[in-house]
Structure 1
Amino acid sequence: MKVIVAGLPKTGTKSMNAALSQLGFVVYDALEHLVLTQNEYIDILHKGWSTEDFRRMYQDVDAIVDVPACIFWDEIHKAFPDAKIILTLRENEDIWWNSLLHQLEANDKFQNKITQLLSPTFRRAVSEILNVIGMVVFGSPFNQSYWKKSKMNEQMAKKGYRSHNAYVMSTAPKDKLLIYQCTEGWEPLCRFLEVPIPESPFPHKNIRGNISQELQDDPIAIQIGKEAFWSLIKVTLVTGVVTYCSMKYGAMNIANAMSNQTKGLLQRIWLSFSPSG
């Protein structure tokens, strides 16, 4: 581990992912944390952690950005004490809050909601990791309902933003800390990391919450999409079988009409669709 980006979501984390990747670092962003280290973070949030847990999780990673890793930046730094720490900030907390609102609105789009509903991996990441982080840091979960618009308390969210930033600035070793805004571009970042400045412009990603379009070619996002697609096929199959049996035998006699083989098939389909399947 060489770089720990401790900034909260909506402080330019997707731009930092792109920038650090362009500089040659192996980066874990939110999707990598939530999918590739999902079981580890669920244990951490529900059972506790040790320094060795983070050392094992990130031993082959150069840089980490975004949730849930940014919440545990200090624990990760204990595991990798030579790593440099970057606290990404927005111009002010009102700009940060408005950016967070745009992201919540994007998360509420039908495509994202249905993917979360149908993908066990995505659903588990939201319910057992993101919503827990949301409660701890911002005072409310990231996603309250599949059917209602997401909402957060502005005062609680801003308080969480201020508290997190103040803790990083007061706790991180001063000789290893860069307080940074992505609008500053390559020069201060590359000077801090002691790497050459690229000739290309500094990348700016996830503008106004358009991360869904930007992730279309991401392997993990594709994996989640495929998982949601096959879950939809399974649900459609179950619905078709139940509808057919209902029409042929009557709703009250479905259970008696089904053969043991059909019951077993439906049971296996249902278990594969369940979060623990």
Structure 2
Amino acid sequence: MKVIVAGYPKTGTKSMDAALRTLGYTVYGHTENLFRLGNEWKKILSVGGNVDDFRAMYENVDAVSDVPACFFWEEILEAFPDTKIIFMRRKDEDEWFRSLQNQIHKFHKNFMIRILKTTSPTQWRIERDVSAPTSKLAIGYEAPAVWSNDIVINEMLAKKLYRTHNAHVLQNAPKDQLLIYSVSEGWEPLCKFLGNDVPDQPFPRKNVRGNIDKEWMEVDPLLIRMQREMYFTVSISAILAVYASYKMIKHPPFNAIKSIASTVVDSLKTIF
């Protein structure tokens, strides 16, 4: 482990992930933590963990960022005490909250994301085990039902958690291992801090004004897997609907329902 990005979500974490990958680092951002370390985070968030857990999770990873990892930056630093820390924050907490609010609204109301949440077993598991408890822990947010538009974000609590996190990092991170940074500063201070040459390309800008949902759907391995599960579930549902119609026509209602129930159980076994 070489780098911990300790800034909260919506402080430039997606741009930082892209920048570190451009510099040749193996990065575990939000997706990698959920997709590849879901079981480990489930344990940490439910019963706790220790330094050995974090050392095992990230022993072959160069950099880590975003929630839930940024919330546990101290525990990761304990496992890898020589790691450099990059801390990012917005101009003020009002700007940060507006960006967070926009991201949550856009992502929750995205029709394809709603379909995924309805049809993907991977999404159900990750939401239950990691995403939901992390959102509540880090920003005090509980997502509404999938098809509900009743999105309630506690602004006072979210800002308080953001403010507390920022103050704690600035007060407790080793000063000789800490870079206070904004992605608007570009390559120079980042590469100087890390000891890398400045790449001959523009600094990446990702998720500007929350406009990353389409890109995520196309390239994010976790969302690609969820989409495959969605297509499978929808296909099975369509087949069952046709089969149910056939059984209702050919058999008395009780026998038809019994036959359909048996088919549904067999199909669910293939999904789970």
Above 0.5 in TM-score? yes
* Number of residue pairs matched by the alignment: 269
**Where do residues 88-237 of structure 1 align in structure 2 (5 Å cutoff)?**
88-107=88-107, 108-141=109-142, 143-149=143-149, 150-215=151-216, 216-237=218-239
Secondary structure of the 1:4 match is: strand
Secondary structure of the 1:192 match is: helix
Give me the identity figure in percent.
Answer: 42
Please say if 1:65 is aligned against 2:65: yes
- What is the alpha-carbon distance in structure 1 between the residues aligned to residue 239 and residue 147 of structure 2? 24
- What is the alpha-carbon distance in structure 1 between the residues aligned to residue 215 and residue 251 of structure 2? 49
Displacement of 1:31? 0.8
Over aligned residue pairs, what C-alpha RMSD do you find?
A: 1.8
Distance 1:240 1:51, change over 3 A: farther
Please say if 1:249 is aligned against 2:246: no
Please say if 1:18 is aligned against 2:21: no
Secondary structure of the 1:239 match is: helix
Q: Which amino acid aligns with 1:117?
A: T
Q: Which amino acid aligns with 2:135?
A: G
Displacement of 1:250? 5.1
Distance 1:272 1:6, change over 3 A: farther
Match of residue 27 from structure 1? 27
Displacement of 1:213? 2.0
- What is the alpha-carbon distance in structure 2 between the residues aligned to residue 16 and residue 22 of structure 1? 10
- What is the alpha-carbon distance in structure 1 between the residues aligned to residue 189 and residue 147 of structure 2? 44
- What is the alpha-carbon distance in structure 1 between the residues aligned to residue 237 and residue 41 of structure 2? 29
Displacement of 1:24? 0.7
Q: For residues 204-230 of structure 1, what are the alpha-carbon distances to aligned partners after superposition, in whole Å with 9 as ceiling and x for unaligned?
A: 101121222222123333222212211
Q: Is the 8 A contact 1:91 1:181 kept in 2?
A: no
Distance 1:190 1:270, change over 3 A: same
Distance 1:77 1:249, change over 3 A: same
Secondary structure of the 1:179 match is: strand
Q: Is the 8 A contact 2:25 2:62 kept in 1?
A: yes
Q: Is the 8 A contact 2:38 2:129 kept in 1?
A: no
Displacement of 1:263? 5.2
Q: Is the 8 A contact 1:138 1:160 kept in 2?
A: yes
Q: Which amino acid aligns with 1:97?
A: F
Displacement of 1:238? 2.8
Displacement of 1:193? 0.8
Match of residue 269 from structure 1? 267
Gaps of 5+ in 1: none
Distance 1:239 1:163, change over 3 A: farther
Q: Is the 8 A contact 1:86 1:180 kept in 2?
A: yes
Q: Is the 8 A contact 1:88 1:181 kept in 2?
A: yes
Q: Is the 8 A contact 1:15 1:206 kept in 2?
A: yes
Q: Which amino acid aligns with 2:25?
A: F
Match of residue 240 from structure 2? 238
- What is the alpha-carbon distance in structure 2 between the residues aligned to residue 226 and residue 47 of structure 1? 32
Q: Which amino acid aligns with 1:20?
A: L
Q: Is the 8 A contact 1:238 1:269 kept in 2?
A: no
Distance 1:270 1:2, change over 3 A: same
Please say if 1:4 is aligned against 2:11: no
